[in-house]
Amino acid sequence: MSKGMLIVGIILLAIITFGVVNIVQNYQTGNELDYYLLRETTEAAMTDAVDVGYYRLSGLLRIDKEKFVESFVRRFSENVSNARTYDIGFYDINETPPKVSVLVKSETAASIEGEALDIQNEVSVILESRYHENKYITEMTRAGKLDYSEVDS
């Protein structure tokens, strides 16, 4: 009888171990995938949001906030898993110099006593180029007379 109980105990221990390993793997894999998705999506959305007219006129990078948020949400939603819910927070968006800070929260599919495991990933990205001073643009911007009609010339 003791050998039978020992075998049952080993089987139960193996099932519990597989369950714990599955939960930890789900959390780690979700965290890693969310981080890389967040980083790549942020970089691509920043590139999409660059104000090309301003760059051609002045040589300085500037992004459009609304265009960045729209591109980020569209790209992120195309690539996420439908098994989880995501909460996206934009905490710092600077147009010049281009810098954004984004926080993405999600929950794993596994839960312990009704509480899901939370995953939080935050990334801050700065878009850089070779900056140079253009006196004409600096003076016109400060005077409030910057006109984009000369962009194509």
- For 37-89, how does the pLDDT look when each residue is reduced to its tens digit (9 = 90+)? 889 999 999 999 988 888 777 777 889 999 999 999 999 988 887 777 888 99
The predicted structure's pLDDT at residue 41:
92
Are 134 and 58 within 8 A, CB to CB?
Answer: yes
- The model carries a pTM of 0.67
The predicted structure's pLDDT at residue 80:
83
pLDDT in tens, 89-142: 998 898 888 899 999 988 766 666 766 667 788 899 888 876 666 666 666 665
* Domain range for 41: 2-150
The predicted structure's pLDDT at residue 100:
93
Question: Per-residue pLDDT for 146 more than 60?
Answer: no
How far apart CA 36 and CA 95 sit, in angstroms, is 24
The predicted structure's pLDDT at residue 67:
93
What are the start-end ranges of the H helices in 49-103?
Answer: 52-58, 65-79
Q: Return left, alpha or beta for 133; rule: phi > 0 is left, psi -120 to 50 is alpha, else beta.
A: beta
Measured at the CA of 43, the angle between CA 120 and CA 94, to 5 degrees, comes to 85
The predicted structure's pLDDT at residue 145:
57
CB burial of 67-94 (b: ≥16 within 10 Å; e: otherwise) equals ebbebbeebbeeebeeeeebebeeeebe
Instruction: State how many domains the chain has.
Output: 1
The predicted structure's pLDDT at residue 74:
92
How far apart CA 57 and CA 153 sit, in angstroms, is 9
Q: If you write DSSP's letter for every residue of 111-152 in order, what string do you get?
A: EETTEEEEEEEEEEEE--------HHHHHHHHHT---GGGTT
